[in-house]
Amino acid sequence: MNQEFDNDESLIESFVRRLSAKYDRRYWLECAKKGQPLDALWQELGKAGFLGAMAPEEYGGSGVSLTRLALLMEQLANNGMPPLMLVVSMMGAVAIAKHGTEEQKRRYLPRLADGSERFCFAITEPDAGSNSFRIRSLARRDGDEYVLNGQKVFISGVDQAEHMLVVARTIAADAAADKREGMSLFVVDTNAAGLTAHRMDTQILMPEGQFQLFFDDVRVPRENLVGKEGKAMHAMFDALNPERITAAAMGVGIGRYALSKAVEYARTRKVFNTPIGAHQGLAHPMAIAKTELELASLMAHRAAEMFDAGGDAGMYANMAKYAAGEAAVKSVDLAIQVHGGSGFMGETDVITLWPLARLMRTAPVSREMILNYIGEHVLGLPRSY
């Protein structure tokens, strides 16, 4: 690791340690149980300049550094307070910084950087699932506007965001000669006329809710088109790779938090006059979990560095997301097992982590789709779907 990375990691760790004295796991849990946003924490991150990590300095940011953002997410999750909105809102900053017009950059990036506005990202649809090229939401040109119709599901933090990036087709999938063509990216206000949002009944304890969206003749000004009409594929994946990297950092932190609680308990809990952590039946699985978490962390850091260097981060981003998802699930499951019956009590605060950790295997991209990607694009195996 280079010296700049080491300095960033040390500074961010110190910052989060100070921050967690004010906004700790209890604060995160209270907001999650009430379905409230982490507003106080968010404002602190904005004041410290971290929300501008994906915006250039000339637009109020701190300079594009996914490495710095991933480190921040990892440290926050290490302390049991991962803000999913950091992943989601960052995607808006990436897409606009890389593909937006000058007017869009000046309009949105400074407010994203100071925390006064947030973005969410809307791509997933009920019928398309992981096959993003088959989305049906359609944006039709009407003079200086687009008229948007369709549905989206599992959209995070709609109630906390002022704007959303919506992926819609300007050429229907069945009419496109190439499935990669005809997709466009729009900025849509979350209070736009014709847009309806319904909170979904997901059983995951977190401050950010999941929503189903209905677009009924939503009018979007032409100036809200991000990039070229029908050419959103590159902008979309420029946002999705950082999403996977920061999600991986979150998974690593969740796993570390769970494992730290297991280790603390195993050091002090005695059965037959011996601390249970002395038994290899628990010590070895915890050692393996620690190793797998640190390997996932290194892969996430490598992916972020590759993105910052302008390289193709796809392979590393997908591998990091896979490794972190697996490590997080194993670590939380192990923490529950180490605690025995107490692991299912709210006061020990490990069972609360299980749904969120398990989500890491499924979202923002499933482990199966990651393995498909690695098989085809990394190993050169025949396409399986």
Q: End of a domain among 65, 99, 117?
A: 117
56: preceding bond cis by omega (within 30 degrees): no
Residue 200 sits in the same domain as residue 317: no
Q: End of a domain among 231, 259, 279?
A: 231
Residue 300 sits in the same domain as residue 365: yes
62, part of any domain: yes
Q: Which domain holds residue 36?
A: 3-117
383, part of any domain: no
Residue 215 phi/psi, 5° resolution?
A: -105, 110
Rounded-to-integer distance, Cα 125 and Cα 131, Å: 9
Residue 363 sits in the same domain as residue 241: yes
Residue 158 sits in the same domain as residue 107: no
Q: 121: which DSSP letter?
A: E
Q: Which amino acid is at 183?
A: M
The answer for residues whose C-beta is within 8 angstroms of residue 227's C-beta and 6 or more apart is 95, 99, 100, 184, 185, 234, 235
Taking the CA of residue 55 as centre, how many other CA atoms within 13 Å lie in the half-sphere pointing to its CB? 29
Residue 175 sits in the same domain as residue 305: no
Rounded-to-integer distance, Cα 1 and Cα 223, Å: 42
* Residue 141: count of CB within 10 angstroms of its CB: 12
Q: Which is nearest to 165 in space by CA: 173, 177, 157, 176?
A: 157
Give per-residue pLDDT as tens, 318-337.
999 999 999 999 999 999 99
Q: Which is nearest to 41 in space by CA: 73, 6, 7, 9?
A: 73
CA distances from 248 to 2, 111, 171 (A): 21, 26, 33
Q: How far does CA 140 lie from the centroid of its chain? A: 30
Bridge partners of 219? 147
User: Tell me, what's the pLDDT at 331?
Assistant: 98
User: Tell me, what's the pLDDT at 180?
Assistant: 84
356, part of any domain: yes
Q: End of a domain among 89, 117, 145?
A: 117
Residue 289 sits in the same domain as residue 362: yes
> 180 by DSSP, 3-state: which?
coil
Place of tokens 């004010």: 22
Residue 9 sits in the same domain as residue 106: yes
User: Tell me, what's the pLDDT at 7?
Assistant: 63
385, part of any domain: no
Residue 312 sits in the same domain as residue 213: no
Q: What is the pLDDT along the chain (385 residues), one digit of tens a residue?
A: 444 445 688 999 999 999 999 999 999 999 999 999 999 999 999 999 999 999 999 999 998 899 999 999 999 999 999 999 999 999 999 999 999 999 999 999 999 999 999 999 999 999 887 888 889 999 999 999 999 999 999 999 999 999 999 999 999 988 988 888 999 999 999 999 999 999 999 999 999 999 999 999 999 999 999 999 999 988 888 899 999 999 999 999 999 999 999 999 999 999 999 999 999 999 999 999 999 999 999 999 999 999 999 999 999 999 999 999 999 999 999 999 999 999 999 999 999 999 999 999 999 999 999 999 999 999 999 998 7
332, part of any domain: yes
Rounded-to-integer distance, Cα 182 and Cα 180, Å: 7
Rounded-to-integer distance, Cα 380 and Cα 370, Å: 14
User: Tell me, what's the pLDDT at 64?
Assistant: 86
Q: Which is nearest to 164 in space by CA: 91, 99, 238?
A: 91
Rounded-to-integer distance, Cα 90 and Cα 166, Å: 14
**Domains contained in the chain, number:** 3
Residue 252 sits in the same domain as residue 353: yes
Rounded-to-integer distance, Cα 102 and Cα 87, Å: 24
Q: Is residue 212 within 8 Å of residue 153, measured between CB atoms?
A: yes
373, part of any domain: yes
Q: What is the CATH number of the domain that holds 84?
A: 1.10.540.10
Residue 153 sits in the same domain as residue 201: yes
User: Tell me, what's the pLDDT at 9?
Assistant: 86
Residue 257 sits in the same domain as residue 372: yes
Rounded-to-integer distance, Cα 128 and Cα 47, Å: 39
Q: Is residue 165 within 8 Å of residue 118, measured between CB atoms?
A: no
Residue 226 sits in the same domain as residue 254: no
User: Tell me, what's the pLDDT at 1?
Assistant: 42
Rounded-to-integer distance, Cα 69 and Cα 18, Å: 17
Strand segments, DSSP code E, in the chain are 119-122, 138-142, 145-156, 163-169, 183-189, 195-199, 210-221, 225-226, 270-271, 274-275
325, part of any domain: yes
Can you give the pTM of this predicted structure? Answer: 0.95
Q: What is the CATH number of the domain that holds 135?
A: 2.40.110.10
Rounded-to-integer distance, Cα 165 and Cα 179, Å: 20
Rounded-to-integer distance, Cα 364 and Cα 154, Å: 10
308, part of any domain: yes
Q: What is the CATH number of the domain that holds 322?
A: 1.20.140.10
